Amino acid sequence: MKIEQIYTKCLAQGAYYIESQGEVAVIDPLRETFPYIDRAKADGARIKYIFETHFHADFVSGHLDLAKSTEAQIVFGPEANPSFDFISAKDGEVFQIGDLTITVIHTPGHTMESTCYLLKDSKGKQIALFTGDTLFIGDVGRPDLAQKSADMTKEDLAGMLYESIRTKLLPLEDDLIVYPAHGAGSACGKNMSKETFSTLGEQKKTNYALNPELSKSDFVDELIHGLLPPPGYFGMNVSLNKSGYENINEVINRGLTPLNVEKFKELSAKDDILILDTRKAGEFSKGHIPGSLFVGLEGQFAPWVGAVIPNINQKLILVTPEGKEEETVRRLARVGYDQVIGYLDGGFECWSAQNEKFDCVERITVDELLEMEISSSTIVDVRKPGEYEASHINDANLLPLDFIQENIKDYPGEPFILHCAGGYRSMIAASILKRHNMHKIKDVIGGFNAIPSNSEITSTFVCPSGN
């Protein structure tokens, strides 16, 4: 028996490979199929089933391409109705993988079709529970992504999740290993742990959602409190996972079209094409093609692309670090951004060598920031509200990057200073603001994390009296 978690940090996503006696089950695969096919070949095994815990919103699953490549059968739990061939499993239905069994446990709440899969060994002992977005380590899935109709609210779904957890999961054995679909950094929950697996017994002790004394109304209130709106691309990814998508190899081959400077200039002049620069923040600040959007590969690249580019059908041309062209196209495809036309051959260095015009983002150090006189119109903090509440620069304006497309109008008059936690998100914001003709901005190198903890310019959030 082999159980392997294949974790992708960029998406904070866990896929699973299970092998027994030459048969394989894959749970919640990413879009590229080679990790699973290569493992099966190495094991001399065949992929028999592809289990999906639900229709994913934050990434495009690899179930369709993997099924076509291996003739494996796709399995969803009850309430799923995709437009392709699949097994509609019943609650409690059992599937055989070698001498292991996988039992379907329908757990509606995160979405109506959300399903967990219980793995047992040949003697019937409970080994592992693959929970998808129903149960995370330290949290549970958000209930606002899949209202079945106008009559079903997030409160209704949260109530269903409460019942699913109480009736389906809490009775299971404490030593059961919990393998979720996501960890910290995913937008599918609020307060997920950095740990990527745990035991059910440990979660019963530490996860608020599994507290047996928690009432249904308190559970619902806690789950929906402070829930930020989901990224705009989530609904489009759900649609792709339900209806189908282009083969990822075709997407990659098209995206890997080298463009010389003249061709790149010609394409960038078109209104429907966007330049995406994926280099490091410091490199982008020193020089970039005017009008470029920055989202660096070094951070949570794909989710931030999804957050700041509203339309997954946006045509893109790329400026990437040398040798990172294929990685960039592949990581974009993971979240459904398939319309990459090509990349700048030779990168920004080639552009600069031909004396083409370029733009910059001015940056300052924390020492320079500390010497400045800060007012309410000086600083813009693009972190999340929770980060701001934990500690922030006095009088800073909170305008989270997640919603920059909606809050552009709320930015103060120029000049002003941007910062995030470490300098990644603030550079994304700077590139977007420059595309909106705001150029008198400065970015703080190292962000808020570089400010000394005892600095007099920072303070923690204090709730107003009575709240």
pLDDT tens-place string over residues 13-35:
999 999 999 999 999 999 999 99
Q: Between 3.40.50.300, 1.10.510.10, 3.90.1570.10, 3.60.15.10, what CATH number should domain 2-234 receive?
A: 3.60.15.10
- What mean pLDDT is predicted for residues 447-463? 79
Which tokens sit at 198?
């745990």
pLDDT at 461: 55
CA angle 190/183/79 to nearest 5° reads 80
Task: Answer yes or no: is pLDDT of 440 > 50.
Answer: yes
- Distance from C-alpha of 40 to C-alpha of 467, rounded to nearest angstrom: 56
Which tokens sit at 416?
């002003």
Decide the pairing of beta strands 273-277 and 315-319. parallel
- Among 192, 231, 232, smallest CA distance to 208 is for 192
Rounded mean pLDDT of the chain? 93
Sole residue written with tokens 């592949």? 330
Those residues with Cβ within 8 angstroms of residue 341's Cβ, 6 or more apart along the chain or in another chain: 254, 255, 257, 259, 267, 273, 315, 316, 317
- Distance from C-alpha of 75 to C-alpha of 71, rounded to nearest angstrom: 13
pLDDT tens-place string over residues 314-339:
999 999 999 999 999 999 999 999 99
Kindly report the three-state secondary structure assignment for every residue of 76-134: ECCCCCCCCCCEECCCCCEEEECCEEEEEEECCCCCCCCEEEEEECCCCCEEEEEEECC
Please give the C-alpha separations between residue 318 and each of 248, 293, 435, in angstroms, as whole numbers: 18, 10, 16
pLDDT tens-place string over residues 370-399:
988 777 678 999 999 989 999 999 989 999
pLDDT at 147: 54
CATH 3.40.50.300 fits 362-459, yes or no: no
Q: Identical fold at 2-234 and 246-353?
A: no
- What mean pLDDT is predicted for residues 351-355? 96
- Among 63, 61, 159, smallest CA distance to 108 is for 159
Q: What percent of the chain has pLDDT over 70?
A: 97
Helix or strand (DSSP H, E) at 2: strand 2-8
Residues 91, 105 contacting (CB under 8 angstroms): yes
Domain residues of the chain, as ranges?
2-234, 246-353, 362-459
Q: What percent of the chain has pLDDT over 90?
A: 85
pTM: 0.91
pLDDT at 129: 98
Please give the C-alpha separations between residue 419 and each of 28, 102, 293, 384, 437, in angstroms, as whole numbers: 36, 48, 17, 12, 19
- What mean pLDDT is predicted for residues 273-296? 98
- What mean pLDDT is predicted for residues 61-79? 97
pLDDT tens-place string over residues 140-162:
999 998 755 456 899 999 999 99
CA angle 77/27/149 to nearest 5° reads 35
Which tokens sit at 27?
């749970």
Is residue 467 very low, low, confident or very high in pLDDT (cuts 50, 70, 90)?
A: very low
CATH 1.20.1560.10 fits 246-353, yes or no: no
Residues 175, 219 contacting (CB under 8 angstroms): no
pLDDT tens-place string over residues 255-268:
999 999 999 999 99
Is residue 463 very low, low, confident or very high in pLDDT (cuts 50, 70, 90)?
A: very low
pLDDT at 190: 77
pLDDT at 148: 52
- Among 412, 421, 410, smallest CA distance to 450 is for 421
- Distance from C-alpha of 121 to C-alpha of 101, rounded to nearest angstrom: 7
- Distance from C-alpha of 447 to C-alpha of 242, rounded to nearest angstrom: 40
pLDDT tens-place string over residues 92-135:
999 999 999 999 999 999 999 999 999 999 999 999 999 999 99
